[in-house]
Amino acid sequence: MNSFRHSDKSRLLCFLFIVLLAPATLFATCKGDCQQGAMAGPFSASQVAENTTTGFFPVCSSCAKGGWSNHQLEGIDAQQNINTNYQFYDQASNTDSNIAVGPNVTGKNAQVLQWVDNQYVQAFDKNTGAAVFTNRNGTTGVPQSVDGLWSGSTQPECQGTTGNVQVIFDRIDGSYIINRRTSYNVGAITHYAWCIAASSGSDLSNPSMQWFAYEYKLDNIIPCVPSSNNCTTGDNYYYFPDWPRIGTWSNGFFITFDLTDPTENYAELGFEACQLDRADIVLGNPTNPINCYTYMVPNTQRPSLIHSVDVADIDSAKEPPAGEPEYFLAMVNPSNAQQSGNGEGVCTSKTTPCTSNQLALFSWGSSGLVGPSFVVVHPYTPGCYDTSGAGSEVNTICIPEPSTNTGDVKPYGQESCEYFNTPCVDSLGDRLANRLTYNNISNAGGPYGTFLTASHVIMESSSNQRTGIRYYILKVSSGVASVLVQSGGTSGPPDLQDPNGLLFYFMPSAALDKHGNLGITYTTSGEFCSGCSKQPHPAINFDVLPWKATQLAPATLIIQGLADEENDQHWGEYAATVMDSTNELTFYGVGQYFNINQNGTTSCGTPSSNCFTWKNRIFRGEYGTVFGVK
Spatial separation of the C-alpha atoms in residues 182 and 187, rounded to whole Å: 16
Q: Are 462 and 348 in contact (CB under 8 A)?
A: no
The predicted structure's pLDDT at residue 421: 77
Where the chain has pLDDT below 70, the residues are: 1-29, 83-94, 161-163
List strands edge to edge, sheet with 539-545: 504-512, 518-525, 539-545, 556-560
Main-chain phi, psi angles of 299, to 5 degrees: -55, -35
Residue 431 buriedness (CB in 10 A; 0-12 / 13-18 / 19+): buried
Q: Are 558 and 490 in contact (CB under 8 A)?
A: no
Spatial separation of the C-alpha atoms in residues 560 and 594, rounded to whole Å: 9
Could you tell me if residue 301 is left (phi over 0), alpha (psi between -120 and 50 degrees) or otherwise beta? alpha
Quote the pTM value: 0.94
Q: C-alpha 410: how far from its chain's center?
A: 28
| Cα distance from N-terminal residue to C-terminal residue, the chain | 57
Rg (CA), the chain: 23
| Pairing assessment for the beta strands 576-579 and 586-594 based on DSSP bridges | antiparallel
Q: Are 468 and 458 in contact (CB under 8 A)?
A: yes
Beta carbons within 10 angstroms of residue 489's beta carbon: 12
Residue 189 buriedness (CB in 10 A; 0-12 / 13-18 / 19+): middle
Longest dimension (CA), the chain: 70
- Give the three-state DSSP class for 393: helix
HSE-CB of 107 using CA atoms within 13 angstroms: 0
HSE-CB of 625 using CA atoms within 13 angstroms: 8
- From residue 25, give the alpha-carbon distance in Å to each of 123, 300, 333, 595, 628: 55, 15, 21, 55, 51
Spatial separation of the C-alpha atoms in residues 328 and 438, rounded to whole Å: 11
Q: Are 70 and 137 in contact (CB under 8 A)?
A: no
Q: What's at 144, amino acid-wise?
A: Q
Spatial separation of the C-alpha atoms in residues 280 and 503, rounded to whole Å: 48
By residue count, the chain amounts to 630
Beta-bridge mates of residue 454: 472
Closest CA to 400 of 242, 505, 543, 525: 525
Q: Which helix (H) or strand (E) holds 278?
A: helix 278-281
Angle at 331 between CA 330 and CA 334, to 5 degrees: 145
Closest CA to 207 of 58, 51, 102: 58
Q: Are 346 and 305 in contact (CB under 8 A)?
A: yes
Beta carbons within 10 angstroms of residue 227's beta carbon: 14
The predicted structure's pLDDT at residue 327: 98
The predicted structure's pLDDT at residue 136: 85
The per-residue pLDDT for range 594-624, each reduced to its tens digit, is 999 999 888 887 777 888 899 999 999 999 9
The predicted structure's pLDDT at residue 541: 98
The predicted structure's pLDDT at residue 8: 36
Q: C-alpha 454: how far from its chain's center?
A: 11
| Pairing assessment for the beta strands 120-125 and 240-249 based on DSSP bridges | unpaired
- Give the three-state DSSP class for 11: helix
The answer to whether the Cα torsion of 551, 554, 558, 563 is positive or negative is positive
Closest CA to 617 of 544, 539, 535: 539
Q: What beta strand segments (E) does 411-546 contain?
A: 425-426, 436-442, 448-461, 466-477, 480-486, 504-512, 518-525, 539-545
